[in-house]
Chains A and B, each alone.
Chain A
Amino acid sequence: MRQRLFTLLRAAAALLCAGLLYALWVRKTGMGIPCPLRLLTGLRCPGCGMTRMALCLLRGDLRGAFAQNRASLLLAPIGLYVAAAWAVGYVRRGERLLHGAPKIAAFVMICVFLAFGVARNVLNW
Chain B
Amino acid sequence: MICSNCGMQLEDNAKFCPNCGTAVAQSDPEPVSNPAPEPSPEPSAQQAYPNYAAPNSSASGNQAYAPYTNGTTFYDVGIQPRDIAVAIILSIVTCGIYNIYWFIKMVDDVNRAANDQGAFSGGITWLLSFVTGGIYGCYWYYQAGKKMTYAKQVRNMPVDNSAEILYLILAIFGLGIVNMALIQSDLNKMASPQN
Are B92 and A98 in contact, with the CB atoms below 8 A?
A: no
Give the docked Cα–Cα distance between A72 and B92 (Å): 10
Binds A, one of B43-51, B77-85, B112-120: B77-85
Task: Judge if A103 is at the interface, Cβ distance under 8 Å.
Answer: yes
Task: Judge if A12 is at the interface, Cβ distance under 8 Å.
Answer: no
Residues on A with C-beta less than 8 A from B192 are 97
Are A109 and B95 in contact, with the CB atoms below 8 A?
A: no
Residues on A with C-beta less than 8 A from B86 are 82, 86, 98, 106
Number of B interface residues in the complex (CB < 8 A): 22
A70-94 residues with Cβ-Cβ distance < 8 A to B are: 72, 79, 82, 86, 93-94
Residues on A with C-beta less than 8 A from B88 are 110
Number of A interface residues in the complex (CB < 8 A): 26
Are B195 and A97 in contact, with the CB atoms below 8 A?
A: yes
Are B89 and A79 in contact, with the CB atoms below 8 A?
A: yes
Interface centre among B7, B92, B94 (most CB of A within 10 A): B92
Are B92 and A97 in contact, with the CB atoms below 8 A?
A: no
Residues on A with C-beta less than 8 A from B97 are 33
Are A47 and B83 in contact, with the CB atoms below 8 A?
A: no
Are A96 and B85 in contact, with the CB atoms below 8 A?
A: no
Minimal Cβ-Cβ distance residue in A for B87: A106
A50 touching B95 in the complex, CB below 8 Å, given contacts A96-B81, A96-B83: yes
- 21 of the cross-chain contacts (CB-CB < 8 Å) are A33-B97, A35-B96, A45-B95, A47-B93, A47-B96, A50-B95, A82-B85, A82-B86, A86-B86, A93-B9, A94-B9, A96-B83, A97-B81, A97-B188, A97-B192, A97-B195, A98-B83, A103-B85, A106-B86, A106-B89, A109-B89
> Which residue numbers of B lie inside 8 Å of A, CB to CB?
7-9, 18-19, 80-83, 85-86, 88-89, 92-97, 188, 192, 195
